[in-house]
């Protein structure tokens, strides 16, 4: 049951109410809007709002305070998280920060009215820096900063500890900025503008991280505000006005990769405002309890819809709740009360029953969720900048990473006692103790969850999906000897072709192998025991997802995990989805002519097909693009099999030695042996690279022991290798040679002030091959290890940026090329190198004279040079020293565009 309240006595004398916000303790309600001759901020007693007896009691005040210090309409009011301050901003271009006076002068009558101020709120700070109307405000987590956005196209970050000091001005939007919102983790701040973009900025350096444009390209500028919102777990950002199939929607943007494939639909006109509740609700669906987030959407169609993750349909849709557009929304701390205001000058309160939407988790439970997602709680994040950003790192048995610190895999990780409060390590799926051939013990540690007294298991809850698979842990002790081998990092590059993680408790993670490795002797192979593998599911609970409850669709961070070049006498299981798995039983049956190995493929817990091989399976990967399974055997053959029926697509490939790493991406297949690399186009059945010897890489590193740290295959069939020396290579088919694309141990890299720009890219996304490879072995040394008396650091930085651009160009990685190009432009602007900037802009502009309409605009790896120039000019426009340069090329570009049209 839900209750709707519309108290008529909450009013701005019939004038529009543009903003509403509930105090964190729930006792006061702030509204901002238009007064008769000025802007108006009013505070209301929520006891009179929520309780009918209090409302009718003359001794209970309804209005607490009214201030009319703003000279024009108040567009936004926001309480700080502590509740100590109230910020208000409006058309008078100023922000006022209010606090309750210690010396109240209660009982005074508001000038020109019959209203009596019960409380006295005084303006502590007046913030003046915007040159236009202020449309939205947002306090950062822990109230360290206050962000404001304006029609002057900027976002200003105010230092809340040093009001009225300006910490940073964020420029980049080319239209009115109508909404600003903080990531609850504190790593990002987002802004949405009339320029049809939503920008995500990093708080580490206040630079643009991502610009989302596609969902907004068909939007009109018909909204007064664009108030978007982050989910309380930080995993999703829901935009205001967006379009899909010519219909207005609120776009759901995922933190992981900034993808946007889901929408909130149903409103007939543009969405003005979105507001997530700060609470994570625990609700029982069926027989299981799930964690859900509440999101309210307000539109110009006067309707309000409330959504809950895990459900296909909205919790409630209130049609014609107002007679004007919905402009702002606010949730109470307990997540049960939703406040909304409208242009018609009224407000509405929606009171939900916990039976319908669940009960809010405690702060302690929320901290546990944050620790599992990011490895650190919000309180610890406030005092510690280290953050495990990508939740996929914590999903599987991967390596724990942080934003600015890389864990040395050679160091033993000691397990912290359960009673020590610290960032939680990733949850490993198995703990294994093994011995290598040199006699050393290797122990894979396992995370011990908190005791049931202070924690509970977090269930995966997709937006519209629920899985019955529970996360399990495999614990196994293995006594067999493990030979060193190429690490399990040769994974598929794109998510669509990634290899499922292999659950094999008998196979520990191996160390990198020498490129020229000697195979183990038969005697050593016979000494190995026959451990029994335990089968478990791959699903850990990391975040509340946006999917369907009925769809058992769970993404996995899929990587091959074979630690041996041979897998004789072993049984192992490969899990892909909840209902699909593959069981391989090597040496299932011994015959006169040799052993036979067996593979079973399950679908929905039923055997889909079976296949036998005359040798042991040593490596395995899948290709979802072509619906293939590729299996490498110990007899040096590679079998390409259809994943639907198990049919052999072509005769097996025969290599000169056993495969040590295998990967498939798009139409391509990569196989690495102990001393060579081969690549095929399996769609066309053509060889791209035939057993290219790795001796070249060994010879180029004569003074250092060489190990393969990671190998990769890009979507266009380019093979990349990173060695333990820190060098990354790509093989150029056209040049028929290896090209070096990165060297973390290089002197230029080590002494470049720009190397930390790596942190701005998603280090696990398939869209960034250069970043993935370089991050895997980068060492991030100190900027300078010598006395820079001749400006060598600046030259090193410039050379590093140019190297990154050329490497991205060779890899045909358009997103990375654009990223490093913009970093290069920013670097030149900081150094005021206008000559190089001019040369760069001229190259992107092309020939301006005699430009004809039929002439095509040149491109760089598929990106229009003119589009790149627009982005470059957007950065140049932010510097006063380059304003003339901006004007010159902006005018030329505009003229050429008009001629082309």
What confidence tens digit (pLDDT) does each residue in 420-444 have?
Answer: 333 444 444 444 555 555 556 565 5
pTM (predicted TM-score): 0.49
What is the reported pLDDT for 805? 85
Q: Is the pLDDT of residue 561 over 60?
A: no
Averaged pLDDT for residues 583-598? 84
The residue written with tokens 């990391």 in the block is: 542
The pLDDT score that the predictor gives to residue 856 is: 56
- Taking residues 319-344, report their average pLDDT: 94
* Dist. CA 425–CA 427, nearest whole Å: 6
The Cα–Cα gap between 149 and 140 comes to 14
Instruction: Answer whether residue 274 shows pLDDT above 60.
Output: yes
**pLDDT, greater one: 457 or 251:** 251
Question: At 581, is the pLDDT very low, low, confident or very high (cuts 50, 70, 90)?
Answer: confident
Q: Residue 336: its pLDDT value, please?
A: 93
% pLDDT > 70, the chain: 70
pLDDT at 326 over 60: yes
Cβ contact 701:729 at 8 Å: no
Mean pLDDT computed over every residue of the chain: 76
pLDDT class of 777 with cuts at 50, 70, 90 = low
Which one of 241-250, 377-386, 494-503 scores highest in mean pLDDT? 241-250
pLDDT band at 567 (very low <50, low <70, confident <90, very high): very low
What dihedral do alpha carbons 212, 213, 216, 220 form, nearest 10°?
A: 120
Angle between helices 834-845 and 883-900 (to 10 degrees): 0
pLDDT tens-digit readout, 499-531: 333 333 333 333 343 333 333 333 443 333 333
725, 729, 809, 398 alpha-carbon torsion, rounded to 10°: -70
- 442-474: pLDDT as tens digits: 655 554 444 343 333 333 334 433 333 433 444
Cβ distance 108 to 101 under 8 Å?
no
Q: Which residue has the tokens 């909304």?
A: 340
Task: Determine the pLDDT at residue 526.
Answer: 38
Q: What is the pLDDT of residue 595?
A: 86
To 5 degrees, how large is the angle CA 791–CA 792–CA 794? 75
pLDDT at residue 622, rounded to an integer: 86
| Torsion region of 321: left, alpha or beta (phi above 0 gives left; psi -120 to 50 gives alpha) | alpha
Strands (E), 756-887: 859-860, 863-864
Predicted confidence (pLDDT) at residue 125 exceeds the cutoff of 70: yes
pLDDT at 546: 46
pLDDT at residue 886 is higher than 80: yes
Q: Which pLDDT score is estimated for 787?
A: 53
How far apart CA 467 and CA 555 sit, in angstroms, is: 11
- Strands ordered across the beta sheet of 229-230: 229-230, 236-244, 247-254, 262-264
- Number of Cβ within 10 Å of residue 189's Cβ equals 25
**Residue 814 pLDDT greater than 60, yes or no:** yes
- Please tell me the predicted confidence (pLDDT) of residue 637: 92
Rounded distance, CA 483 to CA 524, Å?
Answer: 9
* Mean pLDDT within 170-191: 94
Nearest C-alpha neighbor of 470 from the set 552, 354, 562, 405:
552
Sign of the Cα pseudo-torsion (715, 719, 723, 729, in order): negative
Give the per-residue pLDDT at 469: 40
pLDDT at 176 over 90: yes
Q: Is 727 helix (H, G, I), strand (E, B) or coil?
A: strand
Residues 622-671 pLDDT 10s: 888 888 889 999 889 999 998 888 888 889 999 888 988 888 888 899 99
Mean pLDDT for the stretch of residues 595-621: 86
* Residue 137 scores a pLDDT above 70: yes
> From edge to edge, which strands make up the β-sheet containing 94-100?
74-79, 86-90, 94-100, 121-128
- Each residue's pLDDT tens digit, 337-358: 999 999 999 999 999 998 889 9
Instruction: Give the pLDDT confidence score for residue 44 in this predicted structure.
Output: 95
pLDDT at residue number 881? 76
**Per-residue pLDDT tens digits for 829-854:** 888 888 888 888 888 888 654 444 44
- Convert the pLDDT of each residue in 83-124 to its tens digit: 999 999 999 999 999 999 876 655 465 655 567 888 989 999
Q: Is the pLDDT of residue 619 over 70?
A: yes
| Residue predicted with more confidence, 261 or 521 | 261
pLDDT grade for 33, boundaries at 50, 70 and 90: very high
User: 3-class DSSP state for residue 365?
Assistant: helix
Strand, helix or coil for residue 637: strand
Token pair of 103, please? 């010396």
Confidence of residue 894 (pLDDT cuts 50, 70, 90): confident
Structure tokens, 74: 């108040």
Q: Where are the beta strands (DSSP E) in 323-405?
A: 326-331, 337-342, 347-351, 359-360
Question: What is the chain's length?
Answer: 901
Nearest residue to 811 (alpha-carbon basis) of 766, 868, 746, 751: 766
Q: What is the pLDDT of residue 741?
A: 83
Q: How confident is the model at residue 397 (pLDDT cuts 50, 70, 90)?
A: very low
Give CA angle at 44 (343, 358), nearest 5°. Answer: 85
Q: Helix %, strand %, coil % for the chain, to 5?
A: 15, 35, 45
**Average pLDDT in the 375-392 region?**
54
Q: Where are the alpha helices (DSSP H) in 740-784?
A: 747-750, 769-777
If one compares 371 and 898, the residue with the highest pLDDT of the two is 371
Stretch 592-620: mean pLDDT, rounded? 85
Please give the pLDDT value at position 702: 58
3-state secondary structure of 393: helix
């Amino acid at each position: 049951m839900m209750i709707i309240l519309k108290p008529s006595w909450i009013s701005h004398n019939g004038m529009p109410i543009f903003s509403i916000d509930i105090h964190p303790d729930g006792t006061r309600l702030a509204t901002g809007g238009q007064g008769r001759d000025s802007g108006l901020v009013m505070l209301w007693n929520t006891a009179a709002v929520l309780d009918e007896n209090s409302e009718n009691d003359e001794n209970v005040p309804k209005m607490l305070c009214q201030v009319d210090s703003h000279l024009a309409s108040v567009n936004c009011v926001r309480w700080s998280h502590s509740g100590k301050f109230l910020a208000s901003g409006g058309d008078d271009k100023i922000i006022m920060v209010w606090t309750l006076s210690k010396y109240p002068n209660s009982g005074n009558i508001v000038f020109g009215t019959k209203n009596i101020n019960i409380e006295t709120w005084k303006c502590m700070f007046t913030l003046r820096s915007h040159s236009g109307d202020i449309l939205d405000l947002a306090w950062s987590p822990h109230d360290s900063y206050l962000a404001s956005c304006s029609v002057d196209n900027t976002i200003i970050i105010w230092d809340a500890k040093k009001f009225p000091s300006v910490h940073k001005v964020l420029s980049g939007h080319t239209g009115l900025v109508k909404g600003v919102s903080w990531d609850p983790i504190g790593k990002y701040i987002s802004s949405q503008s009339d320029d049809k973009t939503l920008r995500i900025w990093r708080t580490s350096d206040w630079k643009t991280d991502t610009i989302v444009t596609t969902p907004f390209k068909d939007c009109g500028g018909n909204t007064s505000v664009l108030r978007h919102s982050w989910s309380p777990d930080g995993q999703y950002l829901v935009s205001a006005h967006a379009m899909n199939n010519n219909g207005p929607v609120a776009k759901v943007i995922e933190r992981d990769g900034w993808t946007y494939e889901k929408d909130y639909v149903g409103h007939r006109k543009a969405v003005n405002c979105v507001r997530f509740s700060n609470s994570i609700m625990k609700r029982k669906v069926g027989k299981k309890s799930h964690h859900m987030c509440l999101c309210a959407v307000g539109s110009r169609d006067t309707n309000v819809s409330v959504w809950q993750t895990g459900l296909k349909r909205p919790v409630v849709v209130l049609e014609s709740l107002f007679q004007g557009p919905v402009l702002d929304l606010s949730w109470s701390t307990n997540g049960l009360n939703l406040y909304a205001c409208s242009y018609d000058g009224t407000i509405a309160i929606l009171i939900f029953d916990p039976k319908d939407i669940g009960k809010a988790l405690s702060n302690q439970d929320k901290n546990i969720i944050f620790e599992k997602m990011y490895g650190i709680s919000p309180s610890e994040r406030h005092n510690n900048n280290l953050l495990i950003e990508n939740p996929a790192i914590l999903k599987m048995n991967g390596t724990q990473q942080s934003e600015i610190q890389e864990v040395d895999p050679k160091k033993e990780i000691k397990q912290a006692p359960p009673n020590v409060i610290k960032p939680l390590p990733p949850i490993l799926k198995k703990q294994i103790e093994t011995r290598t051939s040199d006699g050393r013990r290797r122990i894979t540690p396992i995370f011990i969850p908190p005791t049931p007294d202070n924690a509970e298991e977090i269930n995966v809850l997709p937006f519209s999906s629920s899985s019955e698979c529970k996360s399990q842990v495999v614990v196994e002790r293995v006594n067999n000897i493990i030979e060193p081998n190429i690490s399990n990092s040769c994974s598929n590059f794109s998510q669509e072709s990634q290899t499922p993680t292999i659950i094999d408790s008998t196979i520990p993670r191996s160390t990198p192998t020498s490129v020229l490795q000697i195979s183990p002797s038969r005697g050593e192979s016979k000494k190995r025991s026959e451990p029994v593998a335990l089968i478990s599911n791959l699903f850990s609970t990391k975040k509340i997802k946006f999917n369907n409850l009925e769809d058992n669709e769970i993404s996995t961070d899929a990587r091959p995990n074979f630690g041996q070049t041979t897998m004789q006498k072993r049984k192992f299981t490969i899990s892909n989805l909840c209902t699909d798995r593959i069981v391989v039983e090597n040496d299932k049956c011994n015959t006169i002519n040799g052993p036979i190995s067996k593979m079973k493929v399950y679908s929905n817990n039923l055997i889909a097909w079976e296949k036998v091989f005359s040798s042991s399976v040593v490596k395995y990967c899948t290709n979802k693009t072509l619906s293939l399974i590729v299996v490498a055997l110990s007899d040096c053959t590679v079998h390409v099999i259809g994943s639907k029926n198990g049919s052999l697509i072509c005769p097996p490939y025969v290599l000169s030695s056993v495969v040590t790493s295998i990967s498939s991406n798009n139409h391509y297949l990569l196989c690495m042996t102990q001393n060579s690399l081969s690549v095929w186009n399996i769609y066309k059945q053509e060889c791209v690279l035939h057993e290219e010897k790795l001796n070249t890489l060994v010879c180029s590193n004569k003074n250092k022991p060489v190990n393969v740290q990671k190998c990769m295959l890009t979507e266009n069939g380019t093979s990349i290798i990173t060695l333990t020396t820190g060098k990354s290579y790509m093989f150029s088919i056209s040049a028929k040679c290896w090209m070096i694309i990165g060297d973390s141990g290089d002197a230029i890299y080590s002494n470049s002030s720009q190397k930390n720009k790596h942190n701005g890219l998603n280090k696990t996304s398939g869209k960034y091959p250069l970043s993935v490879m370089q991050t895997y072995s980068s060492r991030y040394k100190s900027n300078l290890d010598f006395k820079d008396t001749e400006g060598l650091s600046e030259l090193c930085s410039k050379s590093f940026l140019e190297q990154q651009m050329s490497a991205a160009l060779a890899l045909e990685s358009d997103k990375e090329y654009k990223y490093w190009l913009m970093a290069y432009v920013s670097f030149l602007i900081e150094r005021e190198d206008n000559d190089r900037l001019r040369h760069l802009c001229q190259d992107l502009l092309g020939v301006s004279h005699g430009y004809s309409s039929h002439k095509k605009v040149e491109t760089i790896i598929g990106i229009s040079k003119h589009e790149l120039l627009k982005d470059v000019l957007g950065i140049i426009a932010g510097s006063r020293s380059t304003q003339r340069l901006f004007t010159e090329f902006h005018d030329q570009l505009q003229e050429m565009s008009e001629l082309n049209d």
